[in-house]
Amino acid sequence: MSKIINYIVPPKNWQLIVTVLIGLIIGLFLYIFYVSNAVSYLSDNPETCINCHVMNSQYDSWNHSSHRERANCNDCHVPHNNVFNKYFFKAKDGMRHATMFTLRLEPQVIQIKEAGIEVVQDNCIRCHSNLITDHRMLGLHNDYNNFREEERKCWECHREVPHGRVRSLSAGKNSLIPDVRKPIPNWINNIVNKIEK
Amino acid sequence: LASSITERRAEVTATYKQEVKIKDWEPRNEVWGKNFPTEYDSYQLNSESNFASKYNGNAMIDMLEADPRLVVLWAGYGFSKDYNQGRGHTYAIEDIRNTLRTGGPENENEGPMPSTCWTCKSPDVPRVMNEQGVKEFYTGKWARLGAEIVNPIGCADCHNNETMELQISRPALVEAFDRMGRDINDATHQEMRSLVCAQCHVEYYFDKKRPGAEGSAYLTFPWDNGMSVEKMEEYYDNKNFSDWTHKLSKAPMLKAQHPGYETYLTGIHAERGVSCADCHMPYMSEGGKKYTDHHIQSPLNNIENSCMVCHKEKTAQLLKDVYDRQDKVIENRDKLEELIVRAHVEAKTAWDLGASDNQMEDILMDIRHAQWRWDYAAASHGASFHSPVEISRVISSGITVAQEARIKLARLLINLGYEGEVPYPDITTKAKAQEFIGLPMDKLETEKDQFLKTLAPKWDAEAKDRESKMPIIYNN
Amino acid sequence: LASSITERRAEVTATYKQEVKIKDWEPRNEVWGKNFPTEYDSYQLNSESNFASKYNGNAMIDMLEADPRLVVLWAGYGFSKDYNQGRGHTYAIEDIRNTLRTGGPENENEGPMPSTCWTCKSPDVPRVMNEQGVKEFYTGKWARLGAEIVNPIGCADCHNNETMELQISRPALVEAFDRMGRDINDATHQEMRSLVCAQCHVEYYFDKKRPGAEGSAYLTFPWDNGMSVEKMEEYYDNKNFSDWTHKLSKAPMLKAQHPGYETYLTGIHAERGVSCADCHMPYMSEGGKKYTDHHIQSPLNNIENSCMVCHKEKTAQLLKDVYDRQDKVIENRDKLEELIVRAHVEAKTAWDLGASDNQMEDILMDIRHAQWRWDYAAASHGASFHSPVEISRVISSGITVAQEARIKLARLLINLGYEGEVPYPDITTKAKAQEFIGLPMDKLETEKDQFLKTLAPKWDAEAKDRESKMPIIYNN
Ligand SMILES: [Ca+2]
Ligand SMILES: [Ca+2]
């Protein structure tokens, strides 16, 4: 055991530098976490999604849809079959979105990915299963509803649900998007302004 | 949650008992209806016959009266006697009995039509095919099966009786796929929602030379080279096949019969994976449950449930979209129709002036090809909406060929001593047109009346007797 | 990383300063570009000339070489000398100077074309119109304004210099709306996103009889009766107007010039409110800011940002959709083209055999109408995608009329003693076709070279001098 600790603990003359470095890394991480409002990413509040302006047009279209009162982003876009899966999926997606956003890799027209499609489809069914399940058919033939529930995407017909059909970073550009908390704290602003002057 | 769903499903299986057991080959729609009352109720609405859209609908419309030029185009062929706007599936039996095309048979060996005509009219067909054999089904006169085939198009045509899955009940479609090197078993569910229709809403001909089935009128879809107007034409040309010889022009004619599926495939909706059922059998809801509308009709009578699920435009706008396309396509289809009428009449004039077979050969082939194109565009009833760009293409090429025929005729006629334009016949009414081509309408109508009063009721009685012996098994 | 996030946030809220003051009538795009560098940078990309789609694109393509039948169709008219695939807006000046159609003027009173030709080529146009007057602008030879008009199509053509709002800078569009009883001031913002294009991408003619403007070649859009192929034809027929007399057939011809806006209006995208800019100037984003792509080109070079905003399909599928429509439409447009070539040659043969004016009159009107329809379909470059159903309709009717002419010609030719078909000319290359119609290409090219070496550089020098006196006012 102590062998291992010895192995990890750097030689005396390095200890200060390493401690400072670790402190810096943790600090920077926390800073990024803060600046990017990552905490909010863990919540179900739709406002968290428009933390990134790239999600504005989806927010806007959802905000004008009949689902606004009934389903938030995560109701559709995150798996709800168990709690672990929910947060795992969120973290995975969140990481990719954040990375792409920061590296400016987002395309003009964002398209939902294969994995996301399945999640959403499952969620449509989760809420609407009553309507689309034909019990009589189930009694006859257990697979009958496969088609309605799996093979075909609901939004092949319900093309406007919930985001409408026009998709681009610029769609709904005049919409009222709630003002997300200002990301740059005043003390940083002050420092920056001082340096400039 | 997942387990909760499974549980609920099991529950459901238990509660929803099937009222009756549907046996193999059950042709009676009302028997299926006992298990599926919602679908059956909507199916019954197919008997409505009061909706007329601009060009289609389910109202009874005498198409020869509406457009007497058709009489001339089909001179020498059954369609010049009688042709009506198609109606709902529940009319299939009534309409085929009533049409003058099937004549007035007095017994099972009489009449102008083969038994094959029944193929697309009833769920009795798979039953009888199973009993008699396919080749045998296609053999003999239409009247031969009159007592066997009495239930209008229905459940057994499209559904498996045990699982209710969509299934193909007609051999012609399977055989055609086979010859194209394709297997319907590979079709996706969504494709099946169109393929059940493709059993009937397709171009066909009666092959009288099929090896192993000589003597029968074997129902065949001419898709071996492809489904485009050119590829099917090539198929028929290669086989030297013609449906009839035109009474005026003596051209070896082809009749295009409702190539609905073939033309639908070339349109944007098919390209985007929209099926026939999506528009003609949209989901409806009753008591918070979705079911498939079995009132199969013009979607223009139900734009809200069909188009508007996918398109957010207003009803009036969508109606306008359909009519705009139909108007633009049909404007030139009408022109082509007139040009072909002229070509037939000019060709007749040439024969009358002593033209030789040799001089006429090319001209007659042009007429054949032009009318085939016209009919492909006209008989595929929904196609000026299903695929307006392809249908326009077909019509343009038809006009080119029709006019080529007329250029050749113009040269020939002058050489035969005819000066100027051949006058357009007076065919302003159906009666005048039928007289022009020399049809004995009174006789045809009398024979039909006779048939409907004597033979048809016998068929019904015989069928009633047979069906009374087919028990309905109730699940207790 | 952290700073990148902060930076991007900052970007969004950043406001920009106007670097320069843009004066009224400022024609220089680079001056506007100082205030709007993002738009200007994308505008500069209009100089790319390397993208060729199946039928369009911005690559330099000699259309007469690609399709020598055009030479025959336009015999006796400028287009038979030279006609290229249209390119980006930045080429407008270069291309109009280079084309053999504008000839090789040696001074301001020479050359085949009127000054009106400049109207759609530059933001200098509104400036000069303001200075000289509109009627005056349209008066005189093309060479007269060579030194005035040097900046290729740009900002002042579409934008208000103070507000940057879209605005109309060309009187012809406003006048045409006026005659139709409409007011462009009522146009919505979305309509403006097409109307700025409708200043140029429209059918036009030069009215030489305009009351009050006699002696000028007054730019006029023939929309008084409507914008359809029939309504514009009616307009020209009523006015007895023709662009030229065909060299072979002597028909009084019409040239259709890019009725892009008129045909777009008949398509589904216009019906659904999609504007030219939606497809040809899609939104882009740079640094968190959205801007309008000012690289105006074939959307096929940018499907991801244009089509995919509204369509979920893959790039390859959307490309196929466009090509499918173009292929289907152009197949018959090509056929029509051939039929009209034949008609011209047959008509020439008839004249050669001594046909009378009287005998030819109807035939020549048919040829006029057929070629007008063909050109309406062909010159409206994007239209086989913008509105495939309408364009198909137009082509079908063109084929009917072309063939009517040929039926009449067949009768006439035999009467004049000509037996059989008139042979199709050998026009397999541009050179052969130009020889066939008797064009002195060497002479035309020498004159053009001379012009480009002598007069054109003088224009540039004069313009440079003038612009050097137009100050750029920097905001401090
Ligand atoms: Ca009907
Ligand atoms: Ca181009």
> What is the per-residue pLDDT across C358-381, written as a single tens digit (0 to 9) for each?
999 999 999 999 999 999 999 999
Question: CA dihedral defined by C396, C399, C401, C403, rounded to 10 degrees?
Answer: -150
Paired residues of B289 in beta bridges: B286
Would you call A165 and C310 a contact, using CB atoms and an 8 Å cutoff? yes
Name the pairing type of β-strands C473-474 and C20-21: antiparallel
Given CB atoms, is C273 within the 8 Å cutoff of chain A?
A: no
Q: How far, in Å, are A47, A112, C217, C254 from residue A56 at the CA level?
A: 10, 15, 52, 51
C6, C285, C305 member nearest A184 (Cβ): C6
Look at residue C10 in the predicted model and tell me its pLDDT.
45
A135, A156, A158 member nearest B12 (Cβ): A135
Mean pLDDT to the nearest integer, C199-205: 98
Rounded CA separation B452/B97 (Å): 8
Q: Which chains touch B (3 or more CB pairs under 8 A)?
A: A, C
DSSP SS3 for B159: strand
pLDDT of residue C82 exceeding 50: yes
pLDDT of residue C105 exceeding 60: yes
Look at residue A192 in the predicted model and tell me its pLDDT.
66
B332, B339, B400 member nearest C393 (Cβ): B332
Given CB atoms, is C407 within the 8 Å cutoff of chain B?
A: yes
Q: What values do phi and psi take at B279, rounded to 5? A: -100, -35
Would you call A35 and C6 a contact, using CB atoms and an 8 Å cutoff? yes
Interface list for B 111-170 with C (CB within 8 A): none
Rounded CA separation B342/B406 (Å): 8
* List of residues 6+ apart from C471 with CB closer than 8 A: none
Look at residue A172 in the predicted model and tell me its pLDDT.
62
pLDDT of residue C288 exceeding 80: no
Closest CA to C322 of C343, C299, C305: C299
Look at residue B11 in the predicted model and tell me its pLDDT.
52
Question: CA dihedral defined by B170, B173, B179, B180, rounded to 10 degrees?
Answer: -160
B328, B411, B414 member nearest C393 (Cβ): B328
How many Cα atoms within 13 Å fall on the side-chain side of residue A146? Answer: 8
Look at residue B346 in the predicted model and tell me its pLDDT.
98
How many Cα atoms within 13 Å fall on the side-chain side of residue C374? Answer: 27
How many angstroms is it from B87 CA to the middle of ligand 1?
5
Q: Are the C-beta atoms of residues B220 and B178 closer than 8 Å to each other?
A: no
Structure tokens at C70: 């055009």
Helix (H) or strand (E) holding B220: strand B218-220
Closest CA to C370 of C418, C403, C322: C403
Look at residue B158 in the predicted model and tell me its pLDDT.
98
Given CB atoms, is A104 within the 8 Å cutoff of chain C?
A: yes
Helices (H), B55-133: 63-66, 69-73, 92-98, 124-132
Look at residue B372 in the predicted model and tell me its pLDDT.
98
pLDDT of residue A137 exceeding 90: no
Given CB atoms, is B469 within the 8 Å cutoff of chain A?
A: no
Q: Which chains touch A (3 or more CB pairs under 8 A)?
A: B, C
Q: How far, in Å, are A116, A135, B104, B436, C437 from residue B446 at the CA level?
A: 68, 53, 8, 20, 67
Interface test with C, best of A109, A157, A193 (most C CBs within 10 A): A109
Which residue shows structure tokens 């009318």? B371
Paired residues of C284 in beta bridges: C291
Report the mean per-residue pLDDT for chain C.
95
Reading chain B (476 residues) residue by residue, the pLDDT tens digits are: 444 555 555 555 545 678 899 999 999 999 999 999 999 999 999 999 999 999 999 999 999 999 999 999 999 999 999 999 999 999 999 999 999 999 999 999 999 999 999 999 999 999 999 999 999 999 999 999 999 999 999 999 999 999 999 999 999 999 999 999 999 999 999 999 999 999 999 999 999 999 999 999 999 999 999 999 999 999 999 999 999 999 999 999 999 999 999 999 999 999 999 999 999 999 999 888 899 999 999 999 999 999 999 999 999 999 999 999 999 999 999 999 999 999 999 999 999 999 999 999 999 999 999 999 999 999 999 999 999 999 999 999 999 999 999 999 999 999 999 988 999 999 999 999 999 999 999 999 999 999 999 999 999 999 999 999 999 999 87
Q: How far, in Å, are A53, A95, C163 from residue A88 at the CA level?
A: 24, 11, 50
Rounded CA separation B198/B204 (Å): 11
Would you call B332 and C390 a contact, using CB atoms and an 8 Å cutoff? no
Ligand in closest contact with the CA of C60: 2
Closest CA to C373 of C388, C389, C395, C390: C395
Q: Are the C-beta atoms of residues B153 and B197 closer than 8 Å to each other?
A: no
Chain B residue numbers with beta carbons less than 8 Å from the beta carbon of A142 are 9, 13
Chain B residue numbers with beta carbons less than 8 Å from the beta carbon of C420 are 411
Interface list for C 134-173 with A (CB within 8 A): none
Question: How does residue A174 score in pLDDT terms, banded at 50, 70 and 90?
Answer: low
DSSP SS3 for B322: helix
Q: According to the 3-state scheme, what is the secondary structure of chain C?
A: CHHHHHHHHHHHHCCCCCCEECCCCCCCHHHHHHHCHHHHHHHHHHHCCCCECCCCECCCCEHHHHCCHHHHHCCCCHHHCCCECCCCHHHHHHHHHHCHHHCCCCCCCCCCCEHHHHHHCCCHHHHHHHHHCHHHHCCCEHHHHCCCCCCCCCHHHHECCCCCCECCCCHHHHHHHHHCCCCHHHCCHHHHHHHCHHHCCCCCEEECCCCCCCCCCEEECCCCCCCCHHHHHHHHHHHCCCCEECCCCCCEECCCCCCHHHHHCCCHHHHCCCCHHHHHCCEEEECCEEEECCCCCCHHHCCCCCHHHCCCCCHHHHHHHHHHHHHHHHHHHHHHHHHHHHHHHHHHHHHHCCCCHHHHHHHHHHHHHHHHHHHHHHHCCCHHHHCHHHHHHHHHHHHHHHHHHHHHHHHHHHHCCCCCCCCCCCCCCHHHHHHHCCCCHHHHHHHHHHHHHCHHHHHHHHHHHHHHCCCCEECC
Given CB atoms, is A151 within the 8 Å cutoff of chain B?
A: yes
Rounded CA separation A97/A107 (Å): 11
Interface test with C, best of B411, B413, B418, B419 (most C CBs within 10 A): B411
DSSP SS3 for B205: strand
* B379-393 as b/e: b if 16+ CB within 10 A: bbbbbbbbbbbbbbb
Q: How far, in Å, are B96, B99, B348, B365, B402 from residue B79 at the CA level?
A: 12, 9, 20, 21, 21
Helix (H) or strand (E) holding B114: none
Name the pairing type of β-strands C283-286 and C289-292: antiparallel
DSSP SS3 for B290: strand
Chain C residue numbers with beta carbons less than 8 Å from the beta carbon of A32 are 1-2, 5
Report the mean per-residue pLDDT for chain A.
76
Read off the pLDDT of residues C384-408 as tens digits, 9 standing for 90 and up.
Answer: 999 999 999 999 999 999 999 999 9
Would you call B289 and A131 a contact, using CB atoms and an 8 Å cutoff? yes
**Number of residues written out for chain C:** 476
Q: Are the C-beta atoms of residues B142 and B119 closer than 8 Å to each other?
A: no
A139, A146, A156 member nearest B12 (Cβ): A139
pTM, two decimal places: 0.91
Look at residue A168 in the predicted model and tell me its pLDDT.
79
Given CB atoms, is C299 within the 8 Å cutoff of chain A?
A: no
* List of residues 6+ apart from C271 with CB closer than 8 A: B317, B321
Nearest chain C residue (CA) to B271: C321
**Number of residues written out for chain B:** 476
DSSP SS3 for A180: coil
Q: How far, in Å, are A35, A196, B76, C15 from residue A190 at the CA level?
A: 16, 10, 96, 19
Structure tokens at C56: 């369009």
B–C interface: beta-carbon pairs under 8 A:
96
Structure tokens at C285: 């984003």
Ligand in closest contact with the CA of C95: 2
Would you call A151 and B310 a contact, using CB atoms and an 8 Å cutoff? no
Q: Are the C-beta atoms of residues B398 and B374 closer than 8 Å to each other?
A: yes
Helix (H) or strand (E) holding A140: helix A135-140
Rounded CA separation C356/B91 (Å): 61
How many angstroms is it from C87 CA to the middle of ligand 2?
5
* List of residues 6+ apart from B177 with CB closer than 8 A: B183, B184
How many angstroms is it from B404 CA to the middle of ligand 1?
34
Read off the pLDDT of residues A102-122 as tens digits, 9 standing for 90 and up.
Answer: 766 778 888 899 889 999 999
pLDDT of residue A197 exceeding 50: no
Q: Are the C-beta atoms of residues B272 and C310 closer than 8 Å to each other?
A: no
pLDDT of residue C456 exceeding 70: yes
Would you call B164 and A137 a contact, using CB atoms and an 8 Å cutoff? yes
Instruction: Work out the percent of chain C whose per-residue pLDDT is above 70.
Output: 96
Question: How does residue A188 score in pLDDT terms, banded at 50, 70 and 90?
Answer: low
